[in-house]
Amino acid sequence: MKLNKIFKWGMVVLILISVALLVWGFVKGFADGDVALPATNALLTWAAIMIGIALFCWIVIGLIISVANNPKSLIKMGIVLVAVVAVALVAYILAKGNPVPGYTGTPVSQGMLKLTDTILILTAIAGVGAIVAIIVGEIRLAIANKK
């Protein structure tokens, strides 16, 4: 079986599981007042699993393919990995971990608040990075098409 077919069917299975969990969440409900229901916990756990799978595929499969095609690309991959860790560390340092003003629910630990702020900062960085990449890509495409 070709590697592309394995990836294609693996992606289909992951999408089907995601949709099934989402439908289950909407049928059962996500929260009852301040209490998160099992559907919410399942969706959050599934999101963490998907992120883990993506990171594993990016690092391991990227490593195998890059070493096979060009062993010098291993250095570039290491630089990118160090840059990602550095951005995550900066986001963690910048995270204040303050509770949400006006929140009257059960208090969470300071570590959880700091981690939540870190994830929000990383999401903002990724969003801005995606917008900048789209704009730069379009400008480069426009310049390349004029030549």
Residue 62: band (very low, low, confident or very high) from pLDDT cuts 50, 70, 90? confident
Please choose, from the candidates 63, 18, 70, 9, the residue with its C-alpha nearest in 3D space to the C-alpha of residue 43.
18
How confident is the model at residue 75, as a pLDDT? 85
pLDDT for 130 equals 96
pLDDT score recorded for residue 31: 67
CA-CA distance, 114 to 56, in Å (whole number)?
25
Alpha helices per DSSP H over the chain: 3-28, 38-56, 62-69, 73-94, 110-146
DSSP string over 49-71: HHHHHHHHIIIIIHHHHHHHH-T
More confident call, 89 vs 45: 89
Residues in the chain, overall count: 147
How many other CB atoms are there within 10 angstroms of residue 39's CB atom?
19
Average pLDDT of the residues of the chain: 85
CA 90 to chain centre: 17
Q: Which residues contact 108 (CB under 8 A, 6 or more apart)?
A: 99
Residue type, 88: A
Task: Give backbone dihedrals phi and psi of 99, rounded to 5 degrees, phi first.
Answer: -70, 155
pLDDT band for 1, please (50, 70, 90 cuts).
low
Residue with tokens 């391991």: 60
Q: 47, 22 in Cβ contact below 8 A?
A: no
Question: What is the per-residue pLDDT across 86-98, written as a single tens digit (0 to 9) for each?
Answer: 999 999 999 998 8
Query: What does the DSSP 8-state code read for residue 30?
Result: S
Most confident among 17-31, 69-83, 122-136 (mean pLDDT): 122-136
What is residue 27's predicted lDDT score, i.e. its pLDDT? 81
